[in-house]
């Protein structure tokens, strides 16, 4: 297990394991339909299903394509889905399945239901079936074919399979209850006729199972224990259970629903996304403005940031809308410590330093990571007589509050010198400013005046003769309103006309000449950018803006960025979201910098500690015990602070530090750390006492664990024989048994190693 708080799904799995349910197995699955590209909503499900497989010892996650509708499916989507899952950092190993693998099996299950009098072939049309179904206040009417004799049903179903009938002529329906309160149970469809070529089975089949029939039986066939799906399938659970109850099955998976991802300024309907592609509003599924994983990847988003975002929004039982700003926060947090700083000018204005010698070059040393110069080094930046600055950094008639360059005004050039604007050159025809003539203070190298005079403005720049040309694609949100399509308007009417600006005359500093395709940088004052491999050519780099430095959308609305609405009990859904975009005082900003420089904390963590005095006190006390700054900060922000606010607990930060120290040193597992923390909050003692009393210390003694493994295997001879006979899924069962016997304290890696050794012996 990880250090994450247990959501209701993980809590349920933990309880199942404790009760030895499913023989200690945990098997999840991610079942996409290959009818489109994966989007950020799918990422939440991927991270949940594959994440559980990573967190619970012996657990596995299957990838199964729900390919039961041949008219919309394509191998292109199968390949893209596998590519996206691997990009996110997950692997299904040898657990790749297709619903089409089970077509013959599903057909036999359907025949069994017909033979049992629980299914019938219906000749009603689609519209008639809908009419016969009734309403929420009126029961449905039975189809005239509902009592068709079993023999006739079997004959018709066989002829349906043989291709004798046209599409829509017949369907196979379950015979359940036409008066059921859950209208899904009013004789749902199990099969329909579709004379379409299937990308895997060709023309072998012309009848295809419905989702509600195929899904549960595919789960059962694969031994799935926890079938996780989003809330729109909650009413379908009755069908899921009914089919399993009345079919010949070995396993009994359970369907569990969780809230799907809804995100503002975004559409996550594959139908609508396909429409955007087909209508030419975007360049394709991987357009960097699309919320698809391939689009995010091309824009420059990182897989680790998307995983962090999914972790932060959590898993809830009720739907809510997450602010897209939360995703953008996660991207910034991920890139801030890893993206080198460089200077780029997107709208160049020529500047001539009149008192700098012609032909000379002053090579300055600029830190690649200003917050950590010693650790990350620097890069050379040439300073010459001719420079480029941003046109927006000059104003001939500056408004109040403008602290950048203006006639007669002095500013600081980032990492360089103080310069003063002495003359403005304009185009004689248009009156446009085309050049500034400035003078520099040679004694101010590094940006500090020797006489101590104050200069308020700092602007970025590049040397004109040394800078490189580049195309910059400034991407923004695809939609201009929070709920595209609201108010009865076609959702395409809400497309943001400014979602892409292509800047073809940008100039970048020469250090970027050695940048490799796929590298990410922070263009100072502009945002984070990605050297796109697909469009860049030698000598003609193309940079995509991944995300701006700040959320300008929230400012435009005159409000602070919205926080994610999931996990309402957590005061800080994630460190990054806690204090972002807050206006800090000079003292607060200095404190944030101190946390970052002295302890190496992420900016978001530092901001929370500054914003919450109680968190700062807990952090200081914990750090005195455990010199693991970032892990300590994570526990304080995500666990300790929440516990204090929810229970009015007088939690001692030293206890938090002791738990973190034991966890980081491997004394206890992440799962045990959660137990210890809960006991501390409940006032049941100090961490070390609890670990000793409850026997929670991680067991790394190979000999001791080998004895436990031997005892478990000796007590399960039938399962051992079945495993050695090819039932490999039982490996997770054995791991679960050992973990249960050791109360979760065994080193999971050592357990798997010992089991592998023992089970491989004859």
Cα–Cα distance between 625 and 661 in angstroms, integer? 8
Residue with tokens 């329906």, as numbered in its chain: 173
Write the CA distances from 212 to 185, 238, 241, 408, 519, integer angstroms: 11, 10, 10, 74, 45
Establish whether 260 is a catalytic residue.
yes
List beta partners, residue 419.
411, 440
Catalytic residue among 64, 133, 161, 270: 270
Cα–Cα distance between 756 and 723 in angstroms, integer? 11
Write the CA distances from 166 to 170, 188, 193, 195, 206, integer angstroms: 8, 20, 7, 8, 10
Cα–Cα distance between 469 and 540 in angstroms, integer? 7
* Length of the chain in terms of residues written: 762
Catalytic residue among 21, 146, 252, 260: 260
Per-residue exposure over 706-720, b if at least 16 CB sit within 10 Å of its own CB, e if not:
eebbeebbeebeebb
Enclosing H/E stretch for 714: helix 702-714
Enter the tokens of residue 19.
């009760």
Residue 81 is given by DSSP the state H
- SS3 string, 11-60, reads HHHHHHHHCCHHHHCCEEEECCCCCCCCEHHHHHHHHHHHHHHHHCCCCE
Establish whether 270 is a catalytic residue.
yes
Catalytic residue among 4, 21, 33, 54: 33
Cα–Cα distance between 264 and 268 in angstroms, integer? 10
Per-residue exposure over 667-690, b if at least 16 CB sit within 10 Å of its own CB, e if not:
bbbebbbbbbbebbbeeebbbeeb
Q: How many CB atoms lie within 10 A of CB 571?
A: 17
Best CA proximity match to 95, nearest among 143, 55, 63:
63
Q: Which residues are catalytic?
A: 33, 260, 270
């Amino acid at each position: 297990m990880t250090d994450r708080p247990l959501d209701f799904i993980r809590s349920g799995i933990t309880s199942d394991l404790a009760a030895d349910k499913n023989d200690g197995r945990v098997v999840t699955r991610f079942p996409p339909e290959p009818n489109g590209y994966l989007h950020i909503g799918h990422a939440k499900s991927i991270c949940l299903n594959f994440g559980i497989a990573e967190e619970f010892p012996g657990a596995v996650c299957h990838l199964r394509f729900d390919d039961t509708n041949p008219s919309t499916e394509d191998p292109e989507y199968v390949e893209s889905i596998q590519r996206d899952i691997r990009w996110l950092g997950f692997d299904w190993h040898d657990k790749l399945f297709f619903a089409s693998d089970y077509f013959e099996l599903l057909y036999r299950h359907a025949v069994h239901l017909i033979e049992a009098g629980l299914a019938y072939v219906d000749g009603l049309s689609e519209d008639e079936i809908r009419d016969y179904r009734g309403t929420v206040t009126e029961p449905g009417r039975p189809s005239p074919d509902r009592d068709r004799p079993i023999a006739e049903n079997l004959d018709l179903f066989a002829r349906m399979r043989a291709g004798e009938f046209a599409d829509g002529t017949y369907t196979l329906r379950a015979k359940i209850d036409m008066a059921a309160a859950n209208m899904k149970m009013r004789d749902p469809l199990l099969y329909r006729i579709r004379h379409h070529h299937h990308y895997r089975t060709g023309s072998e089949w012309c009848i295809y199972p419905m989702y509600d029939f195929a899904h549960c039986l595919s789960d059962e066939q694969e031994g799935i224990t926890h079938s996780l799906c989003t809330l729109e399938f909650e009413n379908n659970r009755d069908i899921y259970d009914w089919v399993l109850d009345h079919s010949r099955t070995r396993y009994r998976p359970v369907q569990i629903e969780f809230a799907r991802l809804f995100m503002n300024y975004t559409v996550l309907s594959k139908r609508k996304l396909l429409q955007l592609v087909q209508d030419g509003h975007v360049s394709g599924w991987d357009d960097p403005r699309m919320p698809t994983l391939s689009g995010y990847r091309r824009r420059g988003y990182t897989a680790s940031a998307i995983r962090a975002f999914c972790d932060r929004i959590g898993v809830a039982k009720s739907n809510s809308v997450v602010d897209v700003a939360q995703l953008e926060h996660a991207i910034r947090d991920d890139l801030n410590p890893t993206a080198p700083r460089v200077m780029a000018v997107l709208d160049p204005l020529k500047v001539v330093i009149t008192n700098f010698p012609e032909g000379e070059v002053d090579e300055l040393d600029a830190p690649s990571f200003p917050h950590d110069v010693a650790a990350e080094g620097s890069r050379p930046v040439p300073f010459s007589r001719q420079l480029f600055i941003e046109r927006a950094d000059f104003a001939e008639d500056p408004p109040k509050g403008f602290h950048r360059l203006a006639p007669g005004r002095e500013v600081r050039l980032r990492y360089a010198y103080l310069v003063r604007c002495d003359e403005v050159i304009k185009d004689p025809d248009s009156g446009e400013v085309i050049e500034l003539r400035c003078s520099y203070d040679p004694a101010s190298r590094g940006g500090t005046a020797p006489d101590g005079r104050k200069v308020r403005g700092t602007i970025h720049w590049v040397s004109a003769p040394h800078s490189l040309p580049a195309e910059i694609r400034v991407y923004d949100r695809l939609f201009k309103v929070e709920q595209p399509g609201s108010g009865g308007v076609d959702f395409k009417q809400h497309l943001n006309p400014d979602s892409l600006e292509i800047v073809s005359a940008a100039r970048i500093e020469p250090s970027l000449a050695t940048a490799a395709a796929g590298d990410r940088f922070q263009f100072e004052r502009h945002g984070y950018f990605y050297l796109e491999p697909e469009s860049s050519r030698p000598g003609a780099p193309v940079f995509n803006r991944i995300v701006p430095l700040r959320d300008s959308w929230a400012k435009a609305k005159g409000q602070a960025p919205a926080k994610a609405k999931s996990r309402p009990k957590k005061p800080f859904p994630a460190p990054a979201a806690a204090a972002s975009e807050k206006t800090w005082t000079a003292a607060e900003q200095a404190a944030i910098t101190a946390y970052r420089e002295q302890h190496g904390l992420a900016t978001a963590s530092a901001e929370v500690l500054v914003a919450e005095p109680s968190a700062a006190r807990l952090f200081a006390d914990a750090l005195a015990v455990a010199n693991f700054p970032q892990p300590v900060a994570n526990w304080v922000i995500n666990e300790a602070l929440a516990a204090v606010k929810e229970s009015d607990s007088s939690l001692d930060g030293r206890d938090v530090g002791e738990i973190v120290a034991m966890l980081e040193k491997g004394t206890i597992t992440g799962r045990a750390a959660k137990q210890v923390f809960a006991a501390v909050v409940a006032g049941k003692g100090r961490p070390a006492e609890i670990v000793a009393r409850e026997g929670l210390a991680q067991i790394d003694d190979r000999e001791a664990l080998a004895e436990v493994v031997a005892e478990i295997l000796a007590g399960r001879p039938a399962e051992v024989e079945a495993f050695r006979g090819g039932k490999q899924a039982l490996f997770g069962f054995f791991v679960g048994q050992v973990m249960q016997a050791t109360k979760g304290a065994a080193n999971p890696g050592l357990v798997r190693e010992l089991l592998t050794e023992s089970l491989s012996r004859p």
